[in-house]
Amino acid sequence: MWPLAVLLVTNIIFTQSQCMQSVLDERKDLLERELAMMVGNSIELSDSELKANEIIMNLKHDEIQRGFLHPKQFNLSKHFFEYKDEVKKTKLFQIIQSMPKGAVLHAHDTKLLSPDYVLALTYWEDLWVCWTEDKYFVEFYFSKITPAFPCATEWELMSEARNASGDVEQFDADLRKHFTMVIDNPNEVYTDVNAAWQKFQRYFISTGNLFSYKPVFEQYYYDTLLEFRKDQVMYLELRSTMPSLYDLDGNVFDAVETAVTYKRVTEKFMRDYPDFFGAKLIYSPLKLVDKATLQECIKTALLIQSLMPDFLLGFDLVGQEDFRAPLKEFLPELAEIREQLDLYLHAGETNWYGTASDENLLDAVVLGAKRIGHAFALTKHPLLMEEVKKRQIALEINVVSNIVLKLVQDPRNHPLATYLSQNMPVLLSSDDPGVWEALPMSHDFYVTFVAVASRHADLKLLKQLALNSLYYSSYPEKHKLVHAFEIRWTKFIDAIVKDKW
């Protein structure tokens, strides 16, 4: 027989072991239940997808582990401008770049292509330029003769100004700065949201007349579709202020003609590239309007919809939320039209809590918005989070935009992490990628996958986010979109397994 002391010790060890196993089992259960709540949880991976997933997750874990062990070396904790080009060299980014990304449902018309593309537009004939004396602002206008309206100093033909500079390369480098937010010291210059928005607004003030020249407008939009297709986007829902266009003959074209132009160019692009599923418009005038102007915008939207019911999707109001009229100021007007026009409303693009800015989320919900743009502040409103999920109001999340415009400095702190963990109806988009020199969608997917989502989030998350962009789109025959996506996804998976990178 065993001595009593030995039996006691053995019993203690056994009890401790049982207790520890119970703790481990509970820990495992809690983790599994939590992971089962995440976006993408319901997807079952095929054998090929499981092989591809192992490759992708090894790459992801390597990047995260390096950052975890050496936090100062974790690229994604720095400013986006510091790593946007560096990450393109990684195998994981290249895989994500080749991934079919579904649709882009939140993007603004003339802020989508790179500053190099915009700079090239300044070589077009008949372009005039005018700077303020300190070169802080620049204006453009296409005309056969000196533009008739005044500018800050005096109008010069761009070709003559460039040639007279004595250093064309430096001239272009200085001019390019007006077409990008990218700088060497962003944290020193863009100290807060307002500083970032000030530079952001200068971009579209400076480029307004450049883009609204009708031939440029048409070419820019066509090339935008080309770039999005190249980045594996299948379909686009574009927000536009519907600017008035002009030509060299003195003609000015109203918002209706602008919409007609969008539709014509879209149809041409689809003839040229039949694998692209097209684009549709959301009319999005600036929030900086009075009620009379808003009524005119609504009349315009209804007129365009009557002429092109399959092309104009709905209505939104855009601009920096903290300094524009809140949605509650326009509740009567928006409530009146919601039966005629679907609403896709910007709301909650703010760091404030309990202000008119974040309470725009409340108004977006009660107005029956089909989707909410940004919804950055939604985590502060748990009841609204429940309502969004119950009503399946999709959240259009723009991670890189929120970083550049200073809502969040480190993507690991982005509220999207919460939305992903609770299987909220989310999709990724890119807002204005050209202004911060990002690819149409690849950077947003990469930053989300590596820095925002859980380390455990895998191929299922990437696939679900792409599919969500199709499910929550307004494309009339979603089954065709999804079928085409699945074919492209299968080819993408095969390429990973065969290691084509």
Residue pLDDT, tens place only, 297-340? 999 999 999 999 999 999 999 999 998 889 999 999 999 999 99
Per-residue model confidence (pLDDT) at position 25 = 84
High-pLDDT (> 90) share of the chain, %? 85
Options 79, 108, 178, 374, the catalytic residue: 374
**Sign of the CA dihedral running 257, 260, 262, 268:** negative
Q: What is the mean pLDDT of residues 243-260?
A: 97
Question: pLDDT band for position 494 (50/70/90)?
Answer: very high
Cα(480)–Cα(486) distance, rounded to whole angstroms? 10
User: Where does residue 343 fall: left (phi above 0), alpha (psi -120 to 50 degrees), or beta otherwise?
Assistant: beta
What's the CA gap between 270 and 1, in Å, rounded?
A: 87
Q: Which of 349, 359, 396, 437 is catalytic?
A: 349
Phi and psi (nearest 5°) for 52? -65, -40
pLDDT given at position 31: 85
> How far is it, in rounded angstroms, from Cα 469 to Cα 482?
10
Would you list the domain boundaries of the chain? 80-113+216-497, 117-179
Q: What is the pLDDT of residues 419-463, one digit of tens each?
A: 999 999 999 999 999 999 999 999 999 999 999 999 999 999 999
Lowest-confidence pick of 49-63, 125-139, 399-413, 454-468 = 125-139
Could you identify the residue written with the tokens 């969608």?
441
**Amino acid letter, 158:** M
CATH of domain 80-113+216-497: 3.20.20.140
Alpha helices in 122-247 (DSSP H): 158-164, 168-176, 186-189, 193-211, 214-230
Is residue 225 within 8 A of residue 279, CB to CB? The reply is yes
Give the pLDDT band (50/70/90) at residue 393.
Answer: very high
For the segment 139-164, the average pLDDT, to the nearest whole number, is: 94
pTM of the shown model: 0.94
Helical H segments across 91-192, by residue range: 91-98, 115-121, 158-164, 168-176, 186-189
374 a catalytic residue: yes
Mean pLDDT calculated for residue range 219-240: 98
Q: pLDDT-derived band of residue 72, with 50, 70 and 90 as boundaries?
A: confident
What's the whole-number mean pLDDT along residues 146-150? 91
Binning pLDDT at 50, 70 and 90, where does residue 472 land? Answer: very high
Least confident of 1-10, 176-185, 488-497: 1-10
Q: Is 414 a catalytic residue?
A: no
The whole-number pLDDT of residue 9 equals 59
Q: What is the mean pLDDT of residues 353-382?
A: 97
